[in-house]
Chain A
Amino acid sequence: MDAETRSVEFDGRAVTLDADGHLVDPEDWNEALAEAMAHSDGVELDALRWWLIRFVRDHHRRYGTPPLMRIVVRSMREQTACRDASSRTLYRLFPDGPIREACRYGGLPRPDSCI
């Protein structure tokens, strides 16, 4: 392990996080681990946050990139009860950056694009 990673104990095994708190090995991810990561941050993963995490994971699996905010907003309006979703809605879910935080809790690498 290099200086920029840290190891946390989860479910009896060591899980390695990078300096930004993203899983080094995406294969380590499961929903219970996401819940534990959020709990340690004082965040409750409610239904809407889970929708966002799963949406970002699915988009990343299909296209190899995190989704644009405009895609998420439109899909949230279509797929959830949040018919008036906006980027503000997403920032209320994860004030530190909705897509980036959804990636982190979703076991995806930190987005490295400047978009």
Chain B
Amino acid sequence: MSTKSEAAGPAAPVLLVRGAPGGEPPWVRPPADRFGTVFLHGPGVAHAAAPDGWLQRVAADRLLVCASSWKRRYDVEPRAPFRVATLVALFEALRAAPEPVCIPVSGDPFRGRARSAPARSQVHDILLEVAFAPGTQRDRLEAAEVGLASAALELRLALLFRDAGLDQLRAAGGPWAQFADHGLAEVYAVSPAPGQQGVHAIASSEVEQLRAKARNIIVL
């Protein structure tokens, strides 16, 4: 494990890992990538239980594991240098170092926009992109908890459902419905989207416009 707190500057990006172990993303090759905070969430907490995965070699100031996600899966504390934290720690880290690198539950890793091209007019603090098909009830709930945490912190939040994530909207009710019902977020879905109250259907060509208005893009 190479935890190099002295090497990473204050603006070192956040790495959010939600994908379960199963292969090193080709672009994460230490020491080329250094991170300020690595935050494991949902199925991604299994990396902290894997003794010799690629994440063990990533250089980072902090290796944090979502307390709830971990507790739902394991009865023991994660081994050092991993330590449990709440989702608040993720959003605090993003305040200092926006534009995280995301390893979502499925699909390709996401690096956000180039850091040389910041958003021109930021309307949303967080754009959460939901691109994975609903799996278990727990997976769905944990993904929604990322949004609920940012809403609890009263961050300006937008949700975007796209690709397989559109299926998350097809079931009536469920944790995602409260975002539109209670005004916790602006909710968008890429057409053809299932009709649901409070969800704005947008064309795929409009996704980049939405991203351009966000300070942070998190792909779940």
Residues in chain A within 8 A of chain B (CB atoms): 59, 62-65, 67-71, 74, 112-115
Closest B residue by C-beta to A65: B175
Q: Nearest chain A CB to B198's CB is how many angstroms away?
A: 13
Q: Which of B67, B87, B152, B174 contacts A63 (CB 8 A)?
A: B174
Are B137 and A64 neighbours in the complex by a CB distance under 8 Å? yes
A67 to B151 Cα, complex, angstroms: 11
Are B151 and A70 neighbours in the complex by a CB distance under 8 Å? yes
Are A63 and B86 neighbours in the complex by a CB distance under 8 Å? no
B159 interface contact, C-beta 8 A: no
Chain B 114-154 interface 0/1 with A at a Cβ cutoff of 8 Å (1 = within): 00000000000000000000000100010011001101101
Knowing A64-B137, A70-B151, A70-B152, say if A113 contacts B145 (CB, 8 Å).
yes
CB<8 Å pairs between A and B, sample of 25:
A63-B174, A63-B177, A64-B137, A64-B173, A64-B174, A64-B175, A65-B141, A65-B145, A65-B175, A68-B148, A68-B152, A69-B152, A70-B151, A70-B154, A71-B182, A71-B184, A112-B71, A113-B68, A114-B66, A114-B67, A114-B88, A115-B68, A115-B86, A115-B145, A115-B152
B2 interface contact, C-beta 8 A: no
Q: How many A-B residue pairs have CB under 8 A?
A: 55
Are B72 and A114 neighbours in the complex by a CB distance under 8 Å? no
A92 to B18 Cα, complex, angstroms: 38
Name the prevailing secondary structure of the B interface residues: helix
Instruction: Tally chain B residues at the interface, Cβ within 8 Å.
Output: 24
Q: Which of A68, A112, A113 contacts B184 (CB 8 A)?
A: A68
Q: Which of B151, B178, B184 contacts A59 (CB 8 A)?
A: B178
Knowing A114-B87, A115-B87, say if A65 contacts B148 (CB, 8 Å).
yes
Which B residues lie within 8 Å of A59 (CB)? 178
Which A residues lie within 8 Å of B141 (CB)? 64-65
Which B residues lie within 8 Å of A74 (CB)? 182
Knowing A65-B175, A65-B178, say if A115 contacts B148 (CB, 8 Å).
yes
Which A residues lie within 8 Å of B71 (CB)? 112
Q: Nearest chain B CB to A70's CB is how many angstroms away?
A: 7
A64 to B86 Cα, complex, angstroms: 20
Which B residues lie within 8 Å of A114 (CB)? 66-68, 86-88, 149
Are B178 and A71 neighbours in the complex by a CB distance under 8 Å? yes
Knowing A69-B152, A114-B87, A115-B145, say if A62 contacts B178 (CB, 8 Å).
yes
